[in-house]
Amino acid sequence: MSFMRSLGRLTLILCFWLSGPLILARPLPSIPAEETSLPEGTLIRLRGDTDIYVIQDGRKCYIPDPETVNAEGYDAAQVVEVDQATFDDIMTGIPVPSVKPPFRYHSSP
């Protein structure tokens, strides 16, 4: 019996034998960037929405907050509004990690 699981650019194959698991790793083929009419680094927003995305490798990548937009060197005034059809035609990529520290609850003393 085997179980495949993608992990980043490696595929792990777990084969369970009588003596225990055997782990094999092999690289995945690279996925080509999608063709889009928007240049790399373009900031986009769906018309009527406030969420901002950046085009990276032909995909739209969500930017979670204004602090991250600024920290990445983007100018929020340069956001291009796109219609629903254009937005849907661009594959979704991995979100840009926030530069803000995670929120922590403080307990009462």
Tens digits of per-residue pLDDT, 82-96? 999 999 999 999 999
CATH number, position 43: 3.30.2390
Q: Does residue 17 have a pLDDT over 60?
A: no
Cα–Cα distance for residue pair 49/58, rounded to 1 Å? 21
pLDDT of amino acid 103: 75
pLDDT bin (cut points 50, 70, 90) of residue 15 is: very low
Q: How many domains does the chain have?
A: 2
Question: At which residue do the structure tokens 């995945």 appear?
Answer: 28
41 and 91 assigned to the same domain: yes
> pTM higher than 0.85 for the full model?
no
Tens digits of per-residue pLDDT, 23-82? 545 554 444 555 668 899 999 999 999 999 999 999 999 999 999 999 999 998 999 999
42 and 81 assigned to the same domain: yes
What is the rounded (10 degree) CA torsion for 72, 82, 50, 101?
-20
Range of the domain at 18: 1-29
Q: Does residue 2 have a pLDDT over 90?
A: no
Go through 73-93 and write b for each residue having 16 or more CB atoms within 10 A of its CB, e for each that does not: ebeeeebeebeeebbeebeeb
Question: At which residue do the structure tokens 């929405």 appear?
Answer: 49
35 and 83 assigned to the same domain: yes
Ranges of H-type helices in the chain: 66-71, 84-89
